[in-house]
Amino acid sequence: MSGGKLIHEALVECGVDTVFGYSGGANLPILDQFSRQNKSPIRFVMNRSEQCCGHAAEGYARASGRPGVVLTTSGPGLTNIITPLQDARGDSTPLIALSGQVPTAAVGTDAFQECLAVDLTRPCTKWSYQVRSVEEVRSVVHEAFRVATSGKPGPVHLDLPKDVMTAVLRGAGLPLPLQPPPAPIDHAALHRVAELLAIAKKPIFYVGQGANGAHLELRALAEACNVPVTTTVHAMGTFDEHHPNSLHMLGMHGAAYANFAIQESDLIVAIGSRFDDRTTGVLSKYAPEAKKAHTEGRGGLIHFDIEPSQFGRVINPTVAVSGDCKMSLAALLPIVAQYPPKHPREAWLKRAHELKAEFPFQYSPPSDKRLKTQSAIEAIYNGLKHREKDVVVATGVGNHQMMSCQFFRWTVPRQFITSGSLGTMGFGLPAAIGAQVACPDKIVVLIDGDGSFNMTLNDLGTIKEHQLPIKIAIMNDHRQQMVHVWQKLFFDSRLMATDNVNPDYVALAQAYGIESYCAKTTDDLPFVIDKFVNAKGPVLIDFRCVPDICLPMVAPGKGLDEMFMPGSIDINAGAEKQQPKMEGLAPS
């Protein structure tokens, strides 16, 4: 077999059913294996740029939990996936990137479409490697999948010189890598966790995407300990947000009630999260009650993480528990039964419910029936609520992203697909394509801003080609509105580079043969939402929205309990009225 065929066969052995990619001279020996004549069992999806290929592979991985695979050519084919690789690195997404390369004899000669692929990708991957012989191809591909999925998931890159891909294996290949045994569970640490859960008066579970595979164990533990739960953006749905113990998403644009509860809690149990700055606010003001309880031996901060290297990077935990969250929580469940709570939890849960009632997500609709992004998203959610467990939502980055978090209720893991750590505009449309390919029986919705959508709108061609029934909602306010607001608040209203000149999105969609509509007022919502929900194929709605601010918001340098709250800012007022009123601590 040739090197290209060995790559293909190894992908089949690793359970790959889809590869997202783009053709080019250097990857032809591999690309040829996916041809109809070769009867490949793997579906090849060609997006409209390599960056779209990478984000589609990310969307596939995040929606399915399986590694996404992308194949590009050399040179610009490789450089164009740097952003998806870094995005996958930041958001712990398992991704296998295969890039063609010039023949090994030409490496280092500045040959056509040559670049130092391994050097470029090493900082944004878990492992980057150039295959140098046909004998190692199969073994290296299997190792790439092991690295991408073990420990904290992430991207891996393989650089594939053209001469190695055309070479023929004459003897035996290298043996497959051995799988290391799983790390043992630290039962002593789990007993200490159970002790602190029994002692604490106000514990809270702060859950990240590392717990996405442990939603059943998480619910059982939260109910056994009677503890409220808040999640990061990538873990929404891991704990059903309809559950009375749910405090929904926390953080910069998260629920005020979740942020207040974190600040009041005497025991914060972080499960599969890394204390990202968007969830902590300024660290000097973070978790004052938990820090105090730590010094007094009656609480503190507990950190569950699969990578021991995460412990102490942001917060020095009272107790660190390394290992897979699902295994750790399963082992913790019978232990907590040995440590009954020393304080009743009813008062703390009552406090959590009071905070939810006092500080709900809210916005002020315009008096003239014009649309706001929040009202459009609410209408979409209400239209799909009867099948909410079957819905997967992808977004771009900006106000629409955070407002989607706020005005949907998330009920199952892997339901919300977005770019978190890197904040990549243009992520939404290709990620929705990947999610729909991974989950053909799910209802995949793209909620995008006009700024993000403009960056990758050419991938409408991929939707048309494959007739993917994606429901596209563009929150069109003709602005980079989140940046516009920051310029108003923090740069004395010096507005620069935030206005968008947009195409007619309805005409654009129609040019691709995609059903499309426009909504300008609340009177238009019943008609367009009906069309949106009931469309059998792809559909696009251009929602013409009034620019608004996303609140609550934790400003730079502020603590989680120092939020700009609804009603405290008028972004459309004159310059002299734009200074926001800072909300302080909620009454305890």
Which residues are part of the catalytic machinery? 50, 112-113, 162, 482
Q: Is 508 helix (H, G, I), strand (E, B) or coil?
A: helix
**Torsion sign (Cα): 324, 326, 328, 331:** negative
List Cβ neighbours of 579 (8 Å cut-off, separation of 6 or more).
none
| Residues near 64 by beta carbon (within 8 Å), at least 6 away in sequence | 414, 438, 439
Range list of β-strands (E), 60-186:
68-72, 95-101, 127-130, 155-161
Q: What SS3 state is found at 46?
A: strand
Nearest to 20 by CA among 67, 64, 65: 67
**CA-to-CA distance for 539 and 211, rounded, in angstroms?**
33
Which distant-in-sequence residues (6+ apart) come within 8 Å of 394 by Cβ? 59, 417, 418, 427, 428, 429, 431, 432, 435, 444, 445, 446, 447
d(CA 361, CA 357): 10
Tokens of 329: 């929580």
Whether residue 101 contacts residue 162, with contact meaning beta carbons closer than 8 Å, is answered with yes
Contact 117, 183 (CB under 8 A): no
